Structure 1
Amino acid sequence: MSSSIVLSNPISHKSPPFRSAPRLLPKTSRPISSRFLLAPPAPSKVSRLSRKVLVRTSIRDNDAKETSSSSSSSGSPLVGEDSAVFELEAQKIVSWVYFSVILGVVLFILKVAWLDESPSGLGLGKAFIDSVSGLSDSPEVVMLLLTIIFAVVHSGLASLRDAGEKVIGERAYRVLFAGTSLPLAVSTVVYFINHRYDGVQLWQLQGAPGVHQLVWLTNFVSFFFLYPSTFNLLEVAAVDKPKMHLWETGIMRITRHPQMVGQVMWCLAHTLWIGNSVTLAASAGLIGHHLFGAWNGDRRLAIRYGEAFDAVKSRTSTVPFAAIIEGRQKLPKDYYKEFLRLPYLSITALTLFAYFAHPLMQAGSFGLHW
């Protein structure tokens, strides 16, 4: 529901549009400003690591000022990061080997502990679904409860991230976050697939001219609104140290909360297609969760990045295209290049695969009898 082709960098080396944008330090660190870079502290008061950060940031800041395509609508350099960047030369084979091993281990544990209902498995997923289903005979209520449980755990752990990382570290907290959220998400998806045609039929538009094409196109486009952090697979798997990023390019120019927008598009398309009360309940829960996530995400970024986030917020919008229409955001002339990157090509392939794999997903869900 969400959730390799090697390309050379389409951006000319003479005009690197965003790679030169400075990487921000958290709000708790010393703020970066042009005045600070022009007059750094005395070398005796700066550690070796700090000197490296200052020099690297100063170079990036100067490069950004010289690159018109990396400027905001006001002409000032971007303070956020470039999203969906994948540099082949920066990849390490050993990192992707670790990623493959971790992914395999996670899927194995998920199968044995959560999905396997045989005597050799724990079957915790079945027990969880049965406990929630026992609260109501209404599939709409159960669907909504499953969504709320996932939302509370997922957003709750996200809100506790700063405090949790200080206690157990970034990688360990990412494992805790993913290990808790993934089973709940799988349960919610499986229950939706198995019960999507239960409940009261409110309308029937399947077979109407143009409806299938509209629904298919809306779903397809919705996956391009994935939050750019999703592209950082090595961080998702905690191979690289997870970070809280402040993005400002690509889809972020259209909306500051692309995952929310993509989820709303997906929900509207599926609700239009299925047209019953269970799908309406699922959509209401998911949209409500992502609206809260948009507010909560802004709050957490404001705490982490302070004035830098305020700058990004001033030239972006939650409502798609609002900042562009209002003149607060000006798209670069070569804006399309921000999407000609391997992650977006991968999303295209995975979205098409997911569409044609619907029968496989349905068969797998039916086999669980949740």
Structure 2
Amino acid sequence: TQETERVWRVFFGVVSLPLAVSCVVFFINHRYDGVPLWDFKLVPGVKASCWISSFVSFWFLYPSTFNLLEVAAVDKPKFHMWETGIMRVTRHPQMVGQLIWCLPHTLWIGNSFMVATSLGLMAHHALGAWHGDRRLRTRYGEAFEEVRARTSVVPFAALLDGRQQPPEGWLLEFARAPYIAITVGTVAAYFAHPLLEGGATLLKW
């Protein structure tokens, strides 16, 4: 029933969100525990490029899900076949965003723990991208195939080869609350980094 689904979604949110926080805390506390593989921290420009790449990654990672209430399972998750904003750049922005995040972090931290973390995250997102396409194909059939033909997994590929023909003024599609919120939140997280690290250390997970 609808009420049962609602209870399950709330239960899922109550359980999954603390687990996500615990994973982030564990990562912060143990990111330097692995076997050192390389050290590029003193190479000029590496730190700045890592920060810039991390900032860009969040533009792909989070605004791709426009209804955050669905992410938290407060609203019933629905099928969406987006083809605007970041979806014009890549059909799987979360996977691409995760890759953009993993590369600079792996370069900066440079140990076996970060390599294993990045491989695990990318495997998770690659599976999600494949499964997402499969579900959309099953649900929408030819309509999905048409969207698939007009979009690309590789960022900007469909725009560059002409498969994606955005309308005039399409960049205004980025003037949406999720993109603005992520921009503000990412800048705030940059300045709050010492607080995040300090808080994670206090938890000792």
User: Same fold, TM exceeding 0.5?
Assistant: yes
Higher relative contact order (CA 8 A, sep 6+): 2
Distance 1:279 1:238, change over 3 A: closer
Partner of 1:211: 46
Partner of 1:232: 67
Deviation at 1:277, TM superposition (A): 1.1
Are the equivalent residues in 2 in contact too, given 1:174–1:242 (CA < 8 A)? no
Q: Spell out the pairing of 1:228-267 with structure 2 (5 A cutoff).
A: 228=63, 230-237=65-72, 240-267=75-102
Deviation at 1:207, TM superposition (A): 2.3
Deviation at 1:228, TM superposition (A): 4.2
**Take 2:28 and 2:122, find their aligned partners in 1: how far apart are those partners?**
18
The normalised TM-score by structure 1 is: 0.52
Other structure's SS at 1:280 match: helix
Partner of 2:133: 298
Larger radius of gyration: 1
Partner of 1:329: 164
Other structure's SS at 2:37 match: coil
Other structure's SS at 1:205 match: coil
Deviation at 1:239, TM superposition (A): 5.2
**Take 2:64 and 2:9, find their aligned partners in 1: how far apart are those partners?**
13
Partner of 1:184: 19
Within the candidate set 178, 192, 196, 1:357 is matched to 192
Establish whether residue 313 from structure 1 lines up as the match of residue 148 from structure 2.
Answer: yes
Q: Which runs of 4+ in 1 moved over 4 A?
A: 237-241
1:54-100 Cα shifts (integer Å, max 9, x gaps) = xxxxxxxxxxxxxxxxxxxxxxxxxxxxxxxxxxxxxxxxxxxxxxx
Structure 1, unaligned runs of 5 or more: 1-164
Distance 1:229 1:187, change over 3 A: same
Deviation at 1:180, TM superposition (A): 3.7
Deviation at 1:236, TM superposition (A): 3.8
Structure 2, unaligned runs of 5 or more: none
Are the equivalent residues in 1 in contact too, given 2:64–2:87 (CA < 8 A)? no
Other structure's SS at 2:90 match: coil
The RMSD of aligned alpha carbons is 2.1
Equivalent residue pairs, number? 205
Deviation at 1:301, TM superposition (A): 1.4
Deviation at 1:309, TM superposition (A): 1.3
Deviation at 1:237, TM superposition (A): 4.6
**Take 2:32 and 2:61, find their aligned partners in 1: how far apart are those partners?**
27
Deviation at 1:241, TM superposition (A): 4.2
Are the equivalent residues in 1 in contact too, given 2:64–2:94 (CA < 8 A)? no
Are the equivalent residues in 2 in contact too, given 1:260–1:290 (CA < 8 A)? yes
**Take 1:173 and 1:328, find their aligned partners in 2: how far apart are those partners?**
41
Identity of aligned residues (%): 63
The aligned amino acid for 1:365 is A
Within the candidate set 123, 130, 149, 1:288 is matched to 123
Deviation at 1:363, TM superposition (A): 1.4
Are the equivalent residues in 2 in contact too, given 1:174–1:236 (CA < 8 A)? no
